[in-house]
Amino acid sequence: MKVAVIGGGPGGLYAAALLKRLDPAREITLWERNAPDDTFGFGVVLSDETLGGIEHADPVVHEALRRDFVRWDDIDIVHRGTAHRSGGHGFAALGRRRLLEILHTRCQALGVDIRFRTEAPPPDALSAAYDLVIAADGVHSTTREAYARAFGPRVSAHRCRYIWLAADFPFDAFRFEIAETEHGPMQLHGYPYAADASTVIVEMREEVWRAAGFEELEPAESIERCAKIFAEALRGRPLRSNKSTWTTFRTVVNDRWSHGNVVLLGDAAHTAHFSIGSGTKLAVEDALALAACLEEQPDVPRALAAYEDERRPVVASTQRAARASLEWFEDLTRYRAQPPRQFAFNLLTRSRRVTHDNLRLRDAHFTGAVEREFGCPPGTPPMFTPFRLRGLTLRNRVVVSPMDMYSAVDGVPGDFHLVHLGARALGGAGLVMTEMVCVSEEGRITPGCAGLYTGRQAGAWRRVTDFVHQQAPGTAIGVQLGHAGRKGSTRLMWEGMDEPLPTGNWPLLAASPLPYKPGSQAPRQLSRAQLTDVREQFTAAAWRAARAGFDLLELHCAHGYLLSGFLSPLTNHRTDAYGGSLEKRLRFPLEVFDAVRAVWPAERPMTVRISATDWAEGGTSGEDAVAIARAFTAHGADAIDVSTGQVVAEERPEFGRSYQTPFADRIRHEAGIPVIAVGAISSWDDVNSLILAGRTDLCALARPHLYDPHWTLHAAAEQGYDGPGVSWPAPYRAGSRRPQTGRTDAPKPRLTLGR
């Protein structure tokens, strides 16, 4: 096999070395346009997981790396003049130049033909002449651009400027320091990579960079200015560069990683922000996977397909974490008012990879101090601290999210609803929410949707609330009121979600006469008289909800239903007083809110669910979401339930663990409003992390409560908690400990006898 490698960074070099080691008969040629010792940056951090893979694949490289690694455990966060240290993290780093030297030596010893200071031939020529072409030519990959139509690259620039520098002394910890300047906050990321040197990255928002005058400074002046700003962290020492310049980070994503016999590797295929230290790690792991797949598969096409199948989920997860991390630093201004210790916890958990539970295992002293500062009583996880909304005190921070069940008959909730909601109330959550309860017959999503537009329906709901209050004392139950708008008159979810009914359709109303998707029924635009009718339907339903005994009322202004349709510019094309500017688009939802608030008991709280983004170009922006939240709060909302999407059929959500929580986080900090976070929050560890970091006040979980109605009780048991934040129903107390399983504590060998 003849293999061409474009690019002499760590990924390209390691791929070449592995392929040659696995089969010495391979003819491998690597082109690197720079000299052997030309490199960007200074230090490289690798994880124990990556090092383990290297050790198994090539002990020679691993041993050379091991001799040069600098290791440390601590992270220092300096904020508002206060330093907090968290330990137990475990890092290993070495100089990038030394890493390249080790890989150069290994490649040359194995017989790889490395051509320094030489541009690679065009990829078409290489593809014709070689069996495999590995494009490891970096974030600005010319190979990727040459085959852009095949690879489908998407490159996103971000909002911070950064510069990669070094200091001639070793930090004794990974150091994050925030400098408050007259131009705005600037941050330092620093870590040791040798016995006498540290990497220092200085980063700040683009507008701060410009206001501080860095744009006009010569490189030497710029570096000197950075050293003065962070003089205390640097102990008064200067910084040095290696042709360093200010730049912006670019996130690279590709639809495909191979084209014919050409494959992308490392930054050419994907990038991950330096704040989680994963660029070199990902490139090295790519090389390991590619080499393994070439060994395991019978030919190159199947090997490249297997390589992408194996690596893409791992890379996607890392990129989600990296994006969360870089956005945290972009938006750190919103956290500046947090207490320093909570700020430090927030920073450490920013990517959602480090969580409350594993941080507690790494450094129980630090995490315990954060909990005490937050107000957690001894032995109480953050999720089991109480939270007050108006006259209602929730005993814990867990909410059973509204979930449409499509199981009502003529809008009347029946035995299914009693068992469904009753079971989850017995399961320990602080607040259990109904599904969206429709305010009129024509406001239903499906024929199976529950309502509150008749006295019979209200009576049936009273049966549910009575059960919750009597059998699950301490659990609150809330009702979510809504109107389907243009998304109504559809089939039950399991018969075809959002698909029109085959027969028996009813007319639809919406902000504008726009069908939800091709094939959907076209709604009529609400007239002024119909707006009044709908508002009165909400008012009547709220009055019935109060009589039915609900503790909290939520107004559904999300997911493309009627009120949401007024808020989004993609679904509201009106030219009257209810369309146009955001202020006008808010007008009708606020009129409905005011009418409902007027009849809802003053001591009972009201929340509003919104879609903070439409996940579509031209839709609701982050600024819009904050303004919408502020508007409802000004009218008396007690909290905002922050969801996203489902407004337009052509949306492109960025799914992932806790993927909607950043929107709640922004609204909470920028608008100063209590929020409920939703969206793929799946573990009690996630809940504790989000609450303690101050990113949300309450967490709403849906699917976990379908999987386990007693999710909150089990979360308490698994954490060894038995306090006032949760209560096992008397008949269930015998099950408050996890059942025993098979034995796992067999005696371990105590002696190893020599041969």
Same domain, 134 and 190: yes
Same domain, 428 and 559: yes
pLDDT at 753: 46
Query: Is residue 738 in some structural domain?
Result: no
Alpha carbon separation from 588 to 511, 574, 577, 583, 645 (Å, rounded): 10, 12, 9, 10, 20
The enclosing domain of 709 has a CATH number of 3.20.20.70
- Catalytic positions are 561
Domain count, the chain: 2
Query: Is residue 278 in some structural domain?
Result: yes
Same domain, 516 and 626: yes
How far apart are the C-alpha atoms of 426 and 421, rounded to whole Å?
9
CB-based contacts of 649: which residues, under 8 Å, 6+ apart?
498, 516, 517
pLDDT at 754: 45
Same domain, 503 and 617: yes
pLDDT at 62: 87
Same domain, 371 and 314: no
Give yes or no for a contact between 490 and 497, defined as CB atoms under 8 angstroms apart: yes
355-372 per-residue burial string, b: 16 or more CB within 10 A, e: under 16: bbbebbebbeebbebbbe
Query: Is residue 748 in some structural domain?
Result: no
How far apart are the C-alpha atoms of 602 and 590, rounded to whole Å?
17
The enclosing domain of 319 has a CATH number of 3.50.50.60
CB-based contacts of 297: which residues, under 8 Å, 6+ apart?
303, 306
Same domain, 321 and 344: no
How far apart are the C-alpha atoms of 323 and 519, rounded to whole Å?
36
Same domain, 468 and 599: yes
How far apart are the C-alpha atoms of 493 and 476, rounded to whole Å?
28
How far apart are the C-alpha atoms of 626 and 610, rounded to whole Å?
10
Query: Is residue 315 in some structural domain?
Result: yes
Give yes or no for a contact between 197 and 237, defined as CB atoms under 8 angstroms apart: no
pLDDT at 755: 39
Looking at residue 638, the DSSP 8-state letter turns out to be S
Same domain, 301 and 364: no
Same domain, 316 and 357: no
Question: What is the largest distance, in Å, between two alpha-carbon atoms of the chain?
Answer: 94
pLDDT tens digits for range 470-489 = 999 999 999 999 999 999 99
Query: Is residue 743 in some structural domain?
Result: no
Q: Chunked in runs of 10, what are the mean pLDDT values of the chain (755 residues)?
A: 96 96 96 84 80 83 90 93 92 91 95 96 97 96 96 95 96 95 96 95 97 94 96 95 92 97 97 87 93 95 97 93 94 92 95 92 95 95 98 98 95 97 97 98 96 98 98 96 96 90 94 95 96 98 98 98 98 97 98 98 98 96 97 98 95 88 96 95 95 97 95 95 92 82 61 46
Residue owning tokens 């489908």 = 152
Query: Is residue 27 in some structural domain?
Result: yes
Give yes or no for a contact between 526 and 509, defined as CB atoms under 8 angstroms apart: yes
How far apart are the C-alpha atoms of 74 and 451, rounded to whole Å?
56
Which structural domain range is residue 71 located in? 2-332
How far apart are the C-alpha atoms of 5 and 268, rounded to whole Å?
12
Same domain, 290 and 355: no
Same domain, 273 and 393: no
Same domain, 260 and 359: no
Query: Is residue 392 in some structural domain?
Result: yes
Query: Is residue 741 in some structural domain?
Result: no
pLDDT at 515: 96
248: nearest Cα among 320, 324, 162, 136: 162
Dihedral sign of CA atoms 560, 564, 569, 571 in order: positive
Looking at residue 653, the DSSP 8-state letter turns out to be -
Q: What is the pTM of this model?
A: 0.91
